Homo-oligomer: A and B are copies of this chain.
Amino acid sequence: MGSNYDQQLIERNVKPTAMRQLVYTVLNEQKTAISLAELEQKFEKVDRVTLYRTLKTFEDKKVIHAIEDGTGSVKYALCQDTCECNPKDLHVHFHCTECGQTYCLNDIQVPGINLPQNFTLESVNMVVKGVCDECNK
């Protein structure tokens, strides 16, 4: 009997172990991106390294994407169904300097850039910092 999310893991070539199902479920519940340390706190007892490796596996297999928001801890969020993490799939992220939350602005595609001669592009990390709607209330 497979969990609701097994299919999504299988589609990305990740074996849906118990641990991975749990992690996927937690990630799916988040409105904003989450760090390894924050993920760890969602569980009563879990090994940090197992979570670390689960996140790495998810990232490799494009189940999640990493966001370097400059806080010193990398944040993670589920990829959209259609996402292949190509430059054209990438969206902008927003980091609130007030509450510390990091948002996926899934609707805002990363703008194209004309690089100088002989520079070739692989990916883009674009993080806007400011105050989020919640904190602006």
* Among candidates B94, B111, B120, B126, residue contacting A131 with C-beta atoms closer than 8 Å: B120
Contact digits for A111-132, partner B, Cβ 8 Å, 1 yes 0 no:
1011111111111111111111
A118–B128 Cα gap in the complex (Å)? 14
Contacts of A127 in B (CB 8 A): 68, 124-126
Copies of chain A in the complex: 2
> By the criterion CB–CB under 8 Å, are B92 and A113 in contact?
yes
Contacts of A122 in B (CB 8 A): 97, 129-131
Contacts of A132 in B (CB 8 A): 118-119
A2 within 8 A of B: no
Within 8 A of B (CB), among A5-28: none
A81 within 8 A of B: no
> By the criterion CB–CB under 8 Å, are B120 and A130 in contact?
yes
Contact digits for A24-47, partner B, Cβ 8 Å, 1 yes 0 no:
000000000000000000000000
> By the criterion CB–CB under 8 Å, are A117 and B129 in contact?
no
> By the criterion CB–CB under 8 Å, are B121 and A128 in contact?
yes
A108–B130 Cα gap in the complex (Å)? 22
**Ranked 5 nearest A-B pairs via Cβ:** A68-B70, A118-B133, A111-B111, A122-B130, A121-B130
